[in-house]
Structure 1
Amino acid sequence: MLSSSPIISPIEEIAAYETLWENQKASFKSIAEIFRSNPGSKPTDFVNKNKFEHNLNEIISIIHNLREENKFRPNLLINGSVNYPEKLRDAREPVELLYYTGNLDLIYGRSVAIVGTRNPSPEGIARAERMTKLLVENGFTIASGLAAGIDTIAHTTAIKNNGNTIAVIGTPLNTVYPKENFKLQQFIAHNHLLITQVPFIKYKKQDYRSNRLFFPERNKTMSAITEATIIIEAGETSGTLVQARAALQQGRKLFILNSCFENKNITWPSYYEKKGAIRVRNFEDVLSNLSK
């Protein structure tokens, strides 16, 4: 424990949080339980000093490289601090620390997540563009996950229409996935808001099979920071359905386009409608329910 230090810097809290992930069985669930059992605590209250000091040096190096190579400074939101959004606590396993860069004010305003398949149909692309444009025109910030397909369309359409966008990514701030979204991620980091819950060091040490588990976790966080999720198009086993479940669990609105119900190859739209999702036949269905 580091309680002997009277002043703990944000970089030290990042290093301490990263150190909590050194435990082989660490997960967002196990870390959430640590803080749930110790209200008001910070990561520095729980770490081994030797491991912490090693990780502190690595974090300092990572942050320096981000500043030098990407020209942005990573910041953090930590539970208990004045800028930590309380709506994150609605998640079943709320993240204690979020990394971000960009305009943090966007996280406190009205926002809607637009999500869906990485391989949209031409009709799905057109629907995503139209929905995004209409939401921007009505003053909503558009959140998505910076994945290929619907996510990318949502971000780029919001930007094209002079709207704001939040990218909630499933990698650390110093990693881009997919690679073809490098410029888009950079633009959002500098001009909008880029956030992640993924620890730098743990991600670096693991292989891709373990790291891909961070992607569904970010969907839960994306749902928590927004007031609603809109599913444009998604297959029967799509990761998008993680966000559908999270939205309903968190008391958020879940909208599903009517075209999904018309697709006879999938059964999930009817399942989620029975759970409380709202079928969208036109934009008024979205707008009127967001006003409630």
Structure 2
Amino acid sequence: MYQRLNAVNKLALSNSNSPALAPISPRRELGAYEALFMQQGATFKRLAEKFASDPSALPSDFVTPQDAEAAAQKVIEKLYAAGVRQFGVRINKAGDYPEKLRDAKYPVELLYYQGAWELSEMRGLAVVGSRKPSEEGARRAARLAKELVNRDFAVVSGLATGIDSAAHNAALEAGGVTIAVIGTPLGEYYPKENRDLQEYIAKEHLLISQIPVLRYEVQPFQQKRHYFPERNVTMSALTEGTIIVEAGETSGTLTQARAALYQGRKLFILENCFNNPAITWPARFEKEGAIRVREPEDIWKALD
């Protein structure tokens, strides 16, 4: 391993609440993290296991300084070319990394973001569901988002079409805070029609990505889709709970449902999902601890 910390620094870093005794370079750690993802067979799961085996390790402990710097330079150049002039990172063991992310089964070590990071400290609920919802489903998502704003919650979602877009837009219309956790790197837009919305959230609210820039660039399109359920796990960990408005039997939203239960977060499922004879997952998750929402008050009671 490279750039090993001395015993005192390792002890300090083993406790995320303790300050690091040696300076940590965000550029170096960003580059090292990206370089790790460029190694053959790298996945979020495997990297999480690597860091779990050495709780004091930083990304730069596994990568040469030269490789870290080369990767960091490529990332900065690529983001700049994509129009990303300002961004930040949050690195585990280095200050403002959200401790609640460690509740994920395979927590990420680094997050990219644009906007006001302090918004992540608000109480927040995720509003998620189908990319092709019914008209009533989209209206339900909007009503929920506005109610969350009225109760001073941040509305968190994934910036996809359908339920996600309805929730983000309704929160903005209500003058509230919205946070988007995306399944692409910064500077990439999926779906394309949400580009203006993504840019607005990045400028005026908070946009978060865990997706490695360099790895994403070289992956085939079919492999890139796996990042969306992985970001759902992070979205769940960042919030107090997840509200599912509508979702099919094989929806990626169910990844977030499973993550919420694993992480000890609240999982809310709207009554209309239980009334849909085409799906069986609502009853299954209710048996595992999900909360059936017949009226909005069911959400607030559970949170209190």
TM-score bin, normalised by smaller chain: over 0.9
1:109 aligns with 2:122: yes
Specify the code of the residue in structure 2 equivalent to 1:171. Answer: T
Q: How far off its partner does 1:94 sit? A: 0.5
Deviation at 1:224, TM superposition (A): 0.1
Deviation per residue, 1:231-287 (Å, 9 max, x gap):
000000000000000000000000000000000111000000000000001110011
Contact kept? 2:232, 2:256, Cα under 8 Å: yes
2:116 counterpart of 1:100: no
**2:51–2:57 contact (8 Å) kept in structure 1:** yes
Q: 1:224 and 2:237 equivalent?
A: yes
Please list every run of 5 or more consecutive structure 1 residues that lacks an aligned counterpart in the other structure: none
SS in 2 for 1:32: helix
Report deviation, 1:39: 1.4
* Per-residue deviation, 1:53: 3.7
1:241 equivalent in alignment to 2:262? no
Classify the secondary structure of the residue corresponding to 1:143: strand
Q: Distance in 2 between matches of 1:55 and 1:102?
A: 24
Residue-pair matches, total: 288
Which runs of at least 4 in structure 1 moved beyond 3 Å after TM superposition? Answer: 4-8, 48-51, 63-66
SS state at 1:263 partner: coil
Over the aligned positions, Cα root-mean-square deviation in angstroms equals 1.6
CA distance in 2, matches of 1:25, 1:106: 34
Question: Structure 2 residue aligned with 1:147, among 157, 160, 183?
Answer: 160
Q: Give the counterpart of 2:32 among 9, 16, 38.
A: 16
Q: Distance in 2 between matches of 1:107 and 1:57?
A: 28
Which position in structure 2 is the counterpart of 1:54? 70
Which secondary structure does the structure 2 equivalent of 1:114 belong to?
strand
Q: Answer whether contact 2:139 2:166 (CA < 8 A) is retained.
A: no
Specify which of 204, 212, 218 is matched with residue 191 of structure 1.
204
Give the 5 Å matches for 1:117-156: 117-156=130-169
Task: Calculate percent identity across the aligned residue pairs.
Answer: 53
Greater mean deviation of Cα atoms: 15-24 or 34-43? 34-43
State whether structure 2 residue 297 is matched by structure 1 residue 281: no
Residue identity matched to 1:33 = E
Question: CA 1:104–1:243 in 2, change beyond 3 Å: closer, same or farther?
Answer: same
Q: Gaps (5+ residues) in structure 2?
A: 6-21
1:262 equivalent in alignment to 2:278: no
Separation of aligned partners in 2, 1:4 and 1:240: 40
CA shift digits 1:24-63 (9 cap, x unpaired): 2111111111111111221111113443343132123134
TM-score by length of 2: 0.91
| Equivalent-residue separation in structure 2 for 1:126 and 1:146 (angstroms) | 16
Contact (CA 8 Å) 1:11, 1:60: kept in 2 or not? no
d(CA) in 2 for partners of 1:94 and 1:207?
24
- Note the alpha carbon deviations across 1:199-241, whole angstroms, 9 max, x for none: 0000001011111111100000000000000000000000000
The amino acid of 2:113's aligned partner reads Y
Distance 1:7 1:62, change over 3 A: farther
Counterpart code for 1:287: W
Decide which moves more: 1-10 or 238-247: 1-10
- Per the TM alignment, residue 7 of structure 1 is displaced from its structure 2 partner at its CA by 5.3
Corresponding residue of 2:172: 159
Q: Which amino acid is 2:36 matched to?
A: L
Aligned to 2:188: 175
Aligned counterparts of 2:4 and 2:285: Cα–Cα separation in 1: 51
- One-letter identity of the residue aligned with 1:112: L
Over 3 Å counting, the alpha-carbon distance change for 1:267 and 1:41 in structure 2 is same
Counterpart among 72, 94, 100 of residue 87 in structure 1: 100
Shift in Å at residue 4 of structure 1?
8.5
